Structure 1
Amino acid sequence: MATIDLSEMKAAAGIGRYPRLGGRIYSAHPELVRWLLADSESSKDDPHVLNLSFACLTDDHTVTLGVTPEQVFGRHCAVLGTTGGGKSWTVARLLEEATQHNSKLILLDATGEFWRLDSECVSHVTIGEGPSLPETAERVAFPHSDMVESDLFALFRPNSQSQGPKLREAIRSLRLVQRRSGMADENGNLVKRKKPRTPIERALAEEADYVESPRAFFSVRHLAKQIREECVRPYDWNDDTKFGDANQQDEGYCLPLMMRIESITSSADYACVFRTDGMTTIADSIEAFLEDGSAKILRISLQNVPFGNNAREVVANGIGRVLLDKARDGNFREQPLVVFVDEAHQFLNRTIGDDFLRVELDAFGLVAKEGRK
Structure 2
Amino acid sequence: MKINPFEHNYFLGYVSQVSPQSVKIHFPSSVLLNRFIFSGEEFNGGLIGSFVAIEGESSGFLGKILELDLPERERLELNEKAFQGKDFHPLAKVDIMLSFDYFNPFDIRKGLDCYPNIGAKVFVCSSNFIQNYFKRFGVKHEEVPYIKIGTLTSNKSTEVSVSQQALLSRHCAIVGTTGGGKSWTVSKLVQSLKENKNKVILIDPTGEYHTFDGDLTQTAILSLNSYLSYRKLTVEDLFFLLKPAGKVQQPKLMEAIRSLKMIEIDTEDALSEYKKEQYLEKKKKTKRNLQAFYYRNISKIENGFLEFNIKKLVDQLREECIYDSLYNDSNTFGDRNDNDISNCVSLISRTNNLLNTSLFNNIFGFDKIEDNDNELINIIERFLASDKNILRQTC
Per the normalisation by structure 2, the TM-score is 0.52
| Alignment-derived partner of residue 188 in structure 2 | 93
Alignment partner of 1:211 is 2:306: no
Equivalent position of 1:70 in the other structure: 165
1:156–1:257 CA contact under 8 A, matched in 2: no
For 1:298 and 1:201, the matched residues in 2 are separated by 48
Match of 1:224 among 308, 311, 314: 314
Higher relative contact order structure (alpha carbons within 8 Å, sequence separation ≥ 6) = 1
CA deviation after TM superposition for structure 1 residue 289, in Å: 4.9
For residues 210 and 138 of structure 1, the distance between their equivalents in structure 2, rounded to whole angstroms, comes to 33
Residue correspondence of structure 1 range 101-116 to structure 2 within 5 A: 101-106=197-202, 108=204, 112-113=208-209, 115-116=211-212
Q: Does residue 277 of structure 1 match 2:363?
A: no
Q: How well do the aligned residues superpose, as a CA RMSD in angstroms?
A: 4.9
Matched, 1:38 2:135: yes
Give the CA deviation at 1:162: 2.1
Listed one character per residue, the Cα deviations across residues 234-265 of structure 1 (whole Å, up to 9, x for unaligned) are: 3455554x223314344543562586278537
Task: Give the match's secondary structure for 1:160.
Answer: coil
Q: Of 269, 275, 278, which residue of structure 2 is paired with 1:188?
A: 278
Flag the 1:56–1:168 CA change in 2: closer, same or farther, 3 A.
closer
Q: Which amino acid aligns with 2:190?
A: L
- Partner of 2:148: helix, strand, or coil? strand
Distance in 2, Cα, partners of 1:65 & 1:186: 62
| Alpha-carbon distance in structure 2 between the residues aligned to 1:222 and 1:94 | 41
Aligned to 1:52: 146
Amino acid at match of 2:135: A
Q: Letter of the aligned partner of 2:212 in structure 1?
A: R
Asked if 2 retains the 8 angstrom alpha-carbon contact of 1:11 and 1:41, the reply is: no
Structure with a larger share of its residues in helix: 1
Cα contact 2:202–2:393 (8 A) shared by 1: yes
* Distance apart, 1:165 and its partner CA: 1.4
Structure 2 counterpart of 1:233 = 323
Which whole-Å CA distance do the structure 2 matches of 1:28 and 1:225 have between them?
65
TM-score, length-scaled by structure 1:
0.54
CA distance in 2, matches of 1:36, 1:190: 63
Q: Which residue of 2 aligns with 1:166?
A: 252
Give the 3-state SS of the residue equivalent to 1:170 in structure 2.
helix
The percent identity for this pair of structures is 17
Match of 1:246 among 309, 319, 335: 335
Distance 1:26 1:196 in 2: 79
1:206 corresponds to which letter in structure 2?
R
Distance 1:121 1:144 in 2: 31
- Relative distance call for 1:167 and 1:102 in structure 2 (3 A) is same
1:107-161, CA deviations, whole angstroms, 9 ceiling, x for partnerless residues? 556561453243556455xxxxxxxxxxx86033454434433443455554332
- Quickly say closer, same or farther: Cα 1:52–1:188, change in 2 above 3 A: same
Q: Separation in 1 of the partners of 2:265 and 2:365?
A: 20
Match of 1:176 in 2: 262
Gaps of 5+ in 2: 1-52, 54-59, 61-99
Higher gyration radius (CA): 2
| CA separation of 1:107 and 1:223: change in aligned 2, threshold 3 A | closer
Q: 1:9 to 1:138 in 2, by over 3 A?
A: same
Match of 1:11 in 2: 107
CA gap 1:65/1:267 in 2 versus in 1, 3 angstroms: closer
Deviation, 1:211, is: 1.4
Measure the CA separation in 2 of the matches of 1:77 and 1:10: 26
Q: Which residue of 2 aligns with 1:199?
A: 289
| CA distance 1:264–1:142, change in 2 (3 Å) | farther
Deviation of 1:300 (Å): 5.1
CA distance in 2, matches of 1:287, 1:218: 23
CA distance in 2, matches of 1:151, 1:111: 24
* 3-state secondary structure, aligned to 2:107: strand
For 2:394 and 2:243, how far apart are their aligned partners in 1?
Answer: 25
| Deviation of 1:178 (Å) | 1.0
Contact 1:163 1:257 in 2 (8 A): no
CA distance in 1, matches of 2:219, 2:244: 40
| Uncovered stretches (5+) of structure 1, i.e. residues with no partner | 125-135, 303-373
| Cα 1:233–1:286 shift into 2, 3 Å | same
CA contact (8 A) 2:287 2:333 kept: no
Instruction: Give the total of aligned pairs.
Output: 280
